[in-house]
Amino acid sequence: MVERAKCCSRPAVLRRCRVISCLAIPAFGGALTTSPNQGLDVAIVGGGIAGLASAVSLRAIGGVRKVRVFERGEGFGEYGGFGLALWPNGLRALRHMDTSLHDEVVRSGSVIGERMFTTAESTSIDYCREREAFGHPMLCLRLLSLHNALRRTALRLGCDILSGMSCEKVYPSLGEDGKKRAALLMAVGQGLEEEEEEEEVVLADFVIGADGLNSVVRARLGDDSKPRDTHCVWFFGIVGHAACPILLRSRVHTFFLSDPTKAASLMPCGDHNTYWAVALTGDNIKEAMALRGDDQEMKRFLKAQFGECNALVKLIEATPPHQVHRRRIEDRPATKSFVSGAGPDEFYSALVGDAAHPTRPSLGQGANMALEDAVQLALVLRETTSIEDALRQYDSARVLRCAKLQGDSDFVAEQALKLGEDDWPAHGGDGQASRNRPANKGMGDAEFVYNWEPLKLHHFPWQPK
């Protein structure tokens, strides 16, 4: 089992290039059925949530024998300080993957019991009923906790995880038997302590693009769209509950609206920690981006912007300066297809996570959608007799659903900060969700969002173009 690629020296001018060929490993017997797709050699580009979830699902659900994950570097940098919410659809996807994985993730987070909507003038509380309605609660946790749990499970199931390997290019290749394969040109050594770097070519039967917003795999599918500025800047951090003990006792997810251009979210995220994030739009963006990156300067700026939210100010004050992070939010237009391989000059590939559908964080569905992708892809590989049919099934199951969730997230992001205080409920909430609140506006059919299950197969024929 390999966790780190060996990095070799290279000539002073020209970088050497060698080919990594497929190595046989013992069959994995976790799948319920036998499919020719289980013999595939799968390369996953990207070792984030989407990539590791795909690796776990391919082994635990799909029974795929050889799964390799190639990740640029070790760790998350600023995203180690990022929190996220798993909703019933995401937790259901984890349970489909592996029951022990699901249980570990739930233990590492905080189950939310109430959502509080507040302004400087009013407060209202909604009681969370996701568990009663959809079988799973709303869970808040650190991104790093979810990532570590997925990584441990992938290694336990026999996946190879190779760090310091950045995919620079993907192109079609033919194997000695004449079958279509993919060749991945990897820069080896990036993101690791070693200074030496070389190139390697990795061969695979099937490539999964889990390489995020600027996906190399997506570009090879012919999508030349570029990331878009959403005119929103986020600041975020994680701090211990001691900074604001009431958040530990109440298990409340708090939304705070300062004015139509400023909003904040506070939520417990497991291990006695609280995650805070603020979103700034409008004229605030120029000032936020003009900050030189000085940690103390960012903290002073944020406290001045949200001085009326005492809990947030306490959390910002208690956050170590170097753990206050800034991120300009970008997204990308939806792609019409998540797969390739129908044409004679194409290799077999599928996109998952942000590589397929980068989604604004306004509905908190990004990670949940990535977990859904992983389960659905593994299921269709297991239940079909050819990779062509599996790709067709995956595309038909995911594209329309993800497009709707992307659209709903865009709507909420654009509308939420336009609300005035008259649109928010008065103090003394009745436990019922207000239809005009940012957390619910655009959701429309909660059944569609939260009651997700992987789709059954319809056996659409794959028609090469």
Residues 106-150: pLDDT tens digits?
A: 999 999 999 888 887 788 888 888 999 999 999 999 999 999 999
**pLDDT, greater one: 87 or 410:** 87
- Terminal CA-to-CA distance of the chain, rounded, Å? 40
Lowest mean pLDDT among 18-32, 151-165, 297-311, 373-387: 18-32
Compute the Cα dihedral for 18, 24, 25, 28 and give only its sign. positive
Q: Which residues contact 154 (CB under 8 A, 6 or more apart)?
A: 52, 55, 56, 59, 67, 69, 161
Protein fold of 86-142+228-331+416-423: D-Amino Acid Oxidase; Chain A, domain 2 (3.30.9)
What local confidence, expressed as pLDDT, does residue 91 receive? 98
Amino acid symbol at 12: A
Q: Of 3-17, 212-226, 255-269, 390-404, where does the model show the most confidence?
A: 390-404
For residue 173, the Cα-to-chain-centroid distance in whole angstroms is 30
Cα–Cα distance for residue pair 375/53, rounded to 1 Å: 8
Reported pTM: 0.86
What's the whole-number mean pLDDT along residues 186-191?
A: 79
Q: Is 130 helix (H, G, I), strand (E, B) or coil?
A: helix
Higher pLDDT, 432 or 290: 290
86-142+228-331+416-423 has the same fold as 17-79+145-226+334-414: no
Read off the pLDDT of residues 141-159 as tens digits, 9 standing for 90 and up.
Answer: 999 999 999 999 999 999 9
The distance from CA 154 to its chain's CA centroid, rounded to whole angstroms, is 16
Is the pLDDT reported for residue 14 higher than 80? Answer: no
- Which residue ranges make up each domain of the chain? 17-79+145-226+334-414, 86-142+228-331+416-423
Q: What is the mean pLDDT of residues 160-180?
A: 91
Q: Determine the pLDDT at residue 75.
A: 60
pLDDT in the model for residue 231: 87
Which range (233-247, 302-316, 386-400, 450-464) has the least confidence? 450-464
Mean predicted lDDT score pLDDT of the chain: 82
Residue 366 and residue 49 in contact, taking contact as beta carbons nearer than 8 Å? no
pLDDT more than 90, % of the chain = 53
CATH fold group of domain 17-79+145-226+334-414:
FAD/NAD(P)-binding domain (3.50.50)
In contact, 67 and 58? CB cutoff 8 Å: yes
Q: Over 60: is that where the pLDDT of 162 sits?
A: yes
Are residues 163 and 192 in contact, defined by beta-carbon separation less than 8 angstroms? yes
Average pLDDT in the 208-213 region?
A: 96
Q: Is the pLDDT of residue 429 over 60?
A: no
pLDDT, position 443: 40
Q: pLDDT at residue 5 above 80?
A: no
